[in-house]
Structure 1
């Protein structure tokens, strides 16, 4: 935590370290907030990039272009919701289809590599709820190879959350691991700056176990003005 109470937060599951681990390791399932312990260290601070400039995350090539607050009106089945929406143009440089959003354990989706810098004085942290690709009137959650795609990443706000005039978003850097025994294609993972371990309790099973968290290398910080 900095003097101003600012943290870098990741609205994701606990990342899975894909290395050999002891039998006591328990991977917790469920969405949570990963607080980078002690805030950012000096060596962790990424370069600042202006809105609209492309950031090479290796797994994604990303241009963050804007942010706005949206209100989803109450329906017969849902209550009114207030959202912070981060807008981006994303290109998938691989040969495989990738996702914009997905299951908690799906580490390779675009929204799971985005971090919000958030000041605790602004109230509860926004919660990542969805990331939708948009083409005309069509919404979908996939990134086709080599096709630039407009993506809206949505964070739900509580009534007590105050959205500042600007938000800063950090983007994780990825790396490709060599082929494994079960999957000869290999896999993509956050480029790890370091690993941290802690004991946590699964909210579903109420069992405790050791969790390995990846603290990723950050490719860039982008500060976006927030439209109302």
Structure 2
């Protein structure tokens, strides 16, 4: 289970919700995976109530589908749904990158370099547990600097839908390391645009990164099983 740390603070529902969000966005669950409330409560060392409430919140956002047997399922996504999801992501994340450009600090650029280096090491060593977390941290380092809570919430919702599909690059029958090598090169171009605070270039490179990744999933992901 992806929830390994005990829940100890006051808002149990919020903590379980945040941990589940992180796990879903990092691709720790695949489409069709079933999440049992009792198993998550045991893993997070809390009761059933905050887990159920957290999962109800995720269901309202479309990230999971509640089932009748005290469990939930990661939604399946059709090829057409994924194409639409990609198009929306390109527009919203491109917008966030454009807004973020002027707000990026030197420390932010250092963070982008650091996270991309972490991802590169994970790809080189085939450390599949770390590739997607590094990738997510890289992207949200930029998006958070847009200083738009509404935009951030919308992007998070899109990643909750896209995250489980990312799992296919690490667990599918086709080796996805070529995808992540390409992603690292795309990230270098993003870093250069960020370093120059070039809003138009940063928007274009973010959109290109999303599109290039989507072509791999459209080609290799088994949408037909849906």
TM above 0.5: no
Greater helix share, structure number = 2
Normalised by the length of structure 1, the TM-score is 0.26
Greater strand share, structure number = 1
Normalised by the length of structure 2, the TM-score is 0.26
